[in-house]
Structure 1
């Protein structure tokens, strides 16, 4: 007998089911590591809020991500959001394979506050 296990991601903020729009965000604060499940909109808001602290802070551990590592760790919903934004901006991009880093950088720049 075969079994199929399905995990449904639910926003830790709103309590709504996230479907493909969800992602788990990991972060640390005061020496404690956290994970939170967020929608793409909530994750973007989190990233925009914390960005000024990240830019002003000093890196104390972990590895810098290479382009390949960062794209491999990018949530499918984030890639979907980037492609959606590129379509809205009428920016051409490869429909298969990795997105070029310059396009990802454009999206990140457009979504910073």
Structure 2
């Protein structure tokens, strides 16, 4: 399985995911500095090493669970939805996700519109 890292946002509020060596498509740059969704991942400073942007997923989950407060009014960070889709596929969790999502759906006897 591919090793996944979270990319701390340099600007904005979106947390991307990075898998070393992963290329989301044939047109993706050959550089390894790209998120799972294809967005380029670059440090905001030339002095900052690329690895300084990457964090273990366990740490990143805490970033996105924090809501703005009086002491920290910044907007909450959110996960990149395309990166999550790629991560589910790469980790083999698509079926498990769909089962969990189906179980949370309200029960309905009618068919979709």
TM-score (norm 2): 0.28
Select the structure of larger CA radius of gyration: 2
Return the structure number with greater relative CO, CA threshold 8 A, min gap 6. 2
* Greater percentage in helix: 1
